[in-house]
Amino acid sequence: MESQTDSDVSMEFDYSSGSDDNSSHSHPREAVGAYEMRAGYQSDEGCIYVFDTCFILEADEWRKFPQMLQKHLLIIPKIVLMELQCHSRDGSKPAKSVIDMLENSSGGSRANERPQSGNFRRQISDAGSPETAHGCTTGIRLQRSKEKDKNVLSAARNNDDHILSCACFFRRRHKPRTFLVTLDSILELKAHAEGVETLSSLP
């Protein structure tokens, strides 16, 4: 996670298309859009990887994503997408590449685009990517609105806690196959306290 002040994210954001639980909340930064991505394949042996912003920008391992998503599920938390879009506008190749992967993974999803704050908000249905009793859907997609641990969010003070909440959600449903991928030592400590395994490099 990039360094943030405690006031950066003090509320729970919901950028769903309206089919989930809460109504959308405005974000203090420029609207960056919501991508509800669909993943394609299924695997009994796949793992779930939840990614932090700093890993994508600094580790230069995002190039492994196309191969990994054939066997595993790669999750981009919504708050990470917002930061990636900011870096993409500043010319970051890793940020732009990962956003392109998310957009391409939407395939034939139903999309509705409309202008907002000079940008387009794309809302893509997350239907059609069910988790199975034997494994998890594979591919790359955005965190969905209900994929969050409310116990972690209840004490959230910054962006790290929103990423951790996403990782805890998957960890508690798919352990021990869930990993939080980060280079942030503080986020790593928080994850370990919640029983979430972390990685600083990809297999």
In the prediction, which pLDDT does 179 show?
A: 96
Residues 6+ apart with CB under 8 A from 149: 164, 165, 166, 168, 169, 172
3-state SS, the chain, equals CCCCCCCCCCCCCCCCCCCCCCCCCCCCCCCCCCCCCCCCEEECCCCEEEECHHHHHHCCCHHHHHHHCCCCEEEECHHHHHHHHHHHHCCCHHHHHHHHHHHHHCCCCCEEEEEECCEEEEEECCCCCCCCCCCEEEEEEECCCCCCCHHHHCCCCCHHHHHHHHHHHHHHHHCCCEEEECCCHHHHHHHHHCCCEEECCCC
Per-residue pLDDT band for 27 (boundaries 50, 70, 90) equals very low
Q: How far apart are CA 126 and CA 121, in angstroms?
A: 15
End-to-end CA distance of the chain: 20
The answer to whether 20 and 144 are in contact (CB under 8 A) is yes
Question: What superfamily in CATH does domain 41-199 come from?
Answer: 5'-nuclease (3.40.50.1010)
The arithmetic mean of pLDDT across residues 82-111, rounded, is 85
Per residue in 77-94, pLDDT tens? 999 999 999 999 999 999
Token pair recorded at residue 10: 């003090």
Lowest mean pLDDT among 37-46, 108-117, 138-147: 108-117
Per residue in 47-72, pLDDT tens? 999 999 999 999 889 999 999 999 99
Q: How far apart are CA 184 and CA 143, in angstroms?
A: 20
Per residue in 144-186, pLDDT tens? 999 999 988 787 778 899 999 999 999 998 877 899 999 999 9
The answer to whether 36 and 123 are in contact (CB under 8 A) is yes
Ranges of each domain in the chain? 41-199
Q: Of 195, 93, 181, nearest to 149 (Cα)? A: 195
